[in-house]
Amino acid sequence: MQPLQKKKWVLRSSDSPEYNIDTIQSISQTYGIPPLVSKILLQYGVESFSTFLHPGLEKLYDPFLMKGMHQAVERIRRALSGQEKVLVFGDYDVDGITSTSILVKFLKEIGIEQTIYQIPDRFRDGYGLKSTVVDFCKNENVSLLITVDCGITSVREVEYANSLGLDVIVTDHHECKSEIPPAVAVLNPKQPDCGYPFKCLAGVGVAFKLLQGLTRTLNLDEARFFENYVDIVSVGTIADVMPLIGENRIMVKNGLESLASTKNPGLRALMKQAGVNTAHISTSSVGFGLAPRINAAGRMDDPKLGVELLLAQTDEVAEEKASLLDGINRERQAIEQEIYEEAIQMLSGESNRLAKDSVLVLSKDGWHSGIIGIVASKITDKYNKPCILISSDGEESKGSGRSIHGFNLFEALSHCGDKLIRFGGHELAAGLTVATDEIEAFRNKINAYAEKHLSEADFAPTLTVDTQLPVVYANLNTVDKLSVMEPFGMNNPNPVFYCGGLKVTGVHTMSEGKHLRLQLSDGAVSVQAVGFSMGYLAEKLSVDDRIDIVFNLEANVYRGERRAQILLKDMRLSS
């Protein structure tokens, strides 16, 4: 029987002098926010309360602070004046698809009519710029190649392009290696000598800054530019799980507001297909509604479908593309569940060696290489260990990995580079190609690395609690006060609250036992709490039990009535 409490609860630190009541009250009075919100934002490390609370697009940084921006803008101006043929080359995930879409749309709007694009096929072409793309450019008289959300490690390919007289602009946000491609311009705030103040842009964010630079240089209407593009930029940024701080917060906050009345037929059709409530579009609406459908194209079918959707000019075309993506996504869900069950089976059994590894490296012939990344994420969540799933196929196999905080997956793969054909990615997510007969050697080497960089404490699942909140304050008034913190996401999470010693006055399940619904009382007020996927805990609880809970507080609309809702994150019997 599973225990009641699933994770160790850790109270977010409030030891710093800046958390004292005088500071909190001063911030509250200055910015007109309640002390509860001031305290949480201080704990989150917010430095500029003015920018956080009023994230207007005018507060975005000057794009020309980014290394390479002047050269990139000038080269595109030459392409415009010379009516050159331009190829935009993107990645097959949502970040790459949104990056490609905004750049193609913009270049055509400013008059570069011969703008074409390519999105590589995940299975046939693999990730990143290849020499075949350079050959295509040469054969099709393309004189300028612009990469989006890729290219920062494509040194040899850019050298090859240079040798053929093809100019390349690289825009990317992935980690840089020691050698930077010798392109006409490289836009990536993570370059060691780039002084751009914000380093956490998504690929679509970097592309957006390029368009912002062009807008200013060409004296275009900047307000109209933001209106036409920030909605798509917000989708790519959320989908790539970027920290929702700084410029990302500004773009996503404004982008979500723009989505509610977007002029983009593709986004309208996709929101309709996903059942998104346009009255309140959140990061969850995008992350769980829109992004998986766009991603499905690159994972299962032709990734150009996503670009075609976002570039659709009529509702009829947009609805056709959105319907296709929805069907592909349903197919993806079925395959994902099958792989997940097979992976769990590989890790089952107390004596299973694989389950005892610090990094879970699993491989199988025939696993869908477009789906394994999603499953790796689920395995990481379940076991709180880094996980890499590998689809074995002939002499070369493709893998996708997810990590836990405290274990930089990109650095770990760099350490194992001699066992890999290629790799790339971030601290928490990466992709790789490995010779099939080297999989076991790779598993051993990355686990040896992990043994030196991880301890048992790193594997213990924890839940960070922001502050205590008596249930008497679990109401719509508090929900509305917390709304100034939205949109929630990485580095700006939905606050987690604690309340102890509550009496259980009712235990129920919903959706055929899948979900849990509790009636709780502190002696003065009675509240209802919902635990999604916690239905199995109903048999562990009885009326009159005393429990401690950690929870999110949100608004729920049911049959037209808006109520505050306690969303359970974890619970335990009171001591």
SS3 575: coil
- Residue 350's pLDDT is 61
Dihedrals phi, psi of 21, to nearest 5 degrees: -60, -35
- Residue 303's pLDDT is 87
- Residue 18's pLDDT is 61
Whole-angstrom distance, CA of residue 499 vs CA of residue 492: 21
pLDDT by residue for the chain (575 residues), tens only, comes to 456 888 889 998 765 556 678 889 999 999 999 999 999 999 998 988 999 999 999 999 999 999 999 999 999 999 999 999 999 999 999 999 999 999 999 999 999 999 999 999 877 887 789 999 999 999 999 999 999 999 999 999 999 999 999 999 999 999 898 899 999 999 999 999 999 999 999 999 999 999 999 999 999 999 999 999 999 999 999 999 899 999 999 999 999 999 999 999 999 999 999 999 888 899 999 999 999 999 998 888 788 999 999 999 999 999 999 999 999 999 999 999 999 999 999 998 765 788 889 999 999 999 998 899 999 999 999 999 999 999 988 899 999 999 998 899 999 999 999 999 999 888 889 999 999 999 999 999 999 999 999 988 888 888 999 999 999 999 999 999 999 999 999 999 999 999 999 999 999 999 999 999 999 999 999 999 999 999 999 999 999 999 999 999 998 877 778 889 999 999 999 98
Dihedrals phi, psi of 422, to nearest 5 degrees: -160, 160
Whole-angstrom distance, CA of residue 566 vs CA of residue 215: 45
Whole-angstrom distance, CA of residue 131 vs CA of residue 224: 37
Contacts of residue 43, defined as CB under 8 A and 6 or more positions apart, other chains included, come to: 12, 13, 14, 19, 466, 467
SS3 550: strand
Question: Helix and strand tally (H, E) in the chain?
Answer: 21, 18
Write down the pTM of the prediction.
Answer: 0.88
